[in-house]
């Protein structure tokens, strides 16, 4: 009889342990399911399928970014997104990256209200991004403007000569190897590069004149590459209003009938890391930031970037 009691107690203990592990397994499956939803649709999981104002942060050096283009299109197609706030904190970047953002924001603005808020810095291609919105806000001490284009290169022929290295270049035409790191820039090459820079500069000036409704001659005087504080930019007509997120929400409520009580939802600024390589890259980035590989070094082509030396 004692043996039966002991066996029954042991079976009861095992049953309790089994139930406990079943409970843990259910919790783990629920967590995995929620994690999978976030992975597939980061930032817009359960409970977020409601009317809201979306916020996309454009930070750091701007380059070609298909993710931003995708998310801006999704915001335009999503009926729950009632307005979009573009938060800019960028010194600029490539002219192509700025043009891509400008074009996609203008497409979005054709369907729903878009405002831009400039944070600490919204210069060059960052300013180009901001003026695509219906209204531009900045704080009094924000830095913006720096309207201009540049092309930078380096030439090492004298250094190579001191090292006893002779470099050769065989090109199909006089401009094919211009600019070159192994020989000085020719007058023809310099003239062609300047033509390309000024053509893009004229395009940038035209965007500012159109979006800010300023005479082209006025913009040309402002577009000498200098940065402006938010207060200066307001006085020059480069922005619409001093303020930040609160002022932007108030303007949307007053001018676009977007209720101020709608929740603000962040659009993920970058896609989730994929696989172990993506996770490793994200970990390195979080540990070292931009100290190992300055973003400027990864920019190709024409640049609209404010970077005081």
Cα dihedral value 156, 160, 161, 166, nearest 10: -110
Can you give the pLDDT at residue 182? 67
Can you give the pLDDT at residue 170? 79
Distance of CA 61 to the CA centre of its chain: 7
How far CA 284 is from CA of 63, 76, 126, 158, 168, in Å, comes to 20, 33, 26, 37, 39
Q: Which helix (H) or strand (E) holds 38?
A: helix 2-40
Can you give the pLDDT at residue 285? 43
Q: What percent of the chain has pLDDT over 70?
A: 72
Residue 20: phi and psi, rounded to 5, are: -65, -45
Can you give the pLDDT at residue 139? 97
**Per mean pLDDT, which range of 56-60, 109-113, 149-153, 278-282 is the poorest?**
278-282
Can you give the pLDDT at residue 150? 83
pTM of this prediction exceeds 0.85: no
Can you give the pLDDT at residue 165? 78
Work out the pLDDT band at 180, boundaries 50, 70, 90.
confident
Tell how strand 241-242 and strand 135-138 pair up: parallel
Question: Does 128 score more than 90 pLDDT?
Answer: yes
Q: Note whether 129 and 147 are within 8 A (CB).
A: no
- Residue-averaged pLDDT of the chain: 81
User: How far apart (Å, rounded) are the C-alpha atoms in residues 38 and 44?
Assistant: 7
Q: Name the residue ranges covered by the structural domains of the chain.
A: 52-152+200-288+295-305
**Per mean pLDDT, which range of 20-34, 37-51, 201-215 is the poorest?**
37-51
pLDDT tens readout for residues 268-279: 978 865 544 454
Q: What is the CATH number of domain 52-152+200-288+295-305?
A: 3.90.226.10
Would you tell me the crossing angle of helices 95-109 and 187-212 to the nearest 10 degrees?
A: 20
**Mean pLDDT throughout 173-186?**
74
As annotated, the active-site residues are 124, 176
Residue 226: both structure tokens together: 């200098």
Can you give the pLDDT at residue 65? 92
DSSP 162: H
């Amino acid at each position: 009889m004692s043996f039966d009691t002991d066996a029954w107690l042991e079976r009861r203990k095992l049953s309790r342990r089994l139930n406990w592990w079943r409970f843990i397994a259910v919790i783990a499956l629920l967590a995995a399911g929620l994690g999978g939803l976030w992975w597939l649709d980061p930032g817009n999981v359960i409970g977020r399928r409601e009317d809201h104002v979306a916020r996309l942060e454009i930070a750091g050096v701007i380059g070609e970014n298909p993710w931003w283009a995708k998310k801006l299109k999704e915001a335009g197609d999503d009926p729950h997104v009632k307005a979009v706030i573009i938060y800019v904190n960028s010194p600029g970047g490539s002219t192509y990256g700025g043009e891509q953002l400008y074009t996609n924001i203008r497409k979005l603005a054709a369907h729903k209200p878009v405002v831009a808020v400039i944070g600490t810095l919204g210069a060059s291609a960052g300013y180009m991004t901001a003026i695509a919105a219906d209204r531009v806000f900045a704080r009094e001490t924000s830095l913006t403007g720096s309207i201009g284009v540049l092309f930078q290169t380096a030439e090492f022929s004298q250094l190579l000569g001191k090292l006893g290295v002779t470099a050769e270049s065989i090109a199909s035409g006089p401009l094919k190897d211009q600019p070159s790191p192994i020989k000085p820039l020719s007058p023809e090459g310099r003239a062609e590069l300047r033509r390309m820079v000024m053509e893009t500069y004229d395009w940038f000036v035209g965007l500012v004149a159109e979006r800010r409704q300023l005479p082209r001659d006025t913009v040309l005087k402002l577009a000498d590459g200098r940065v402006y504080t938010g207060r200066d930019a307001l006085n020059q007509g480069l922005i619409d209003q001093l303020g930040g997120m609160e002022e932007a929400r108030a303007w949307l409520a007053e001018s676009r009938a977007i209720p101020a009580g709608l929740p603000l939802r962040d659009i993920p600024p970058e896609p989730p890391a994929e696989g172990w390589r993506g996770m490793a890259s994200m970990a390195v980035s979080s540990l070292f930031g931009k100290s190992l590989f300055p973003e400027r070094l990864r920019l190709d082509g024409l640049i609209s970037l404010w970077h005081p030396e």
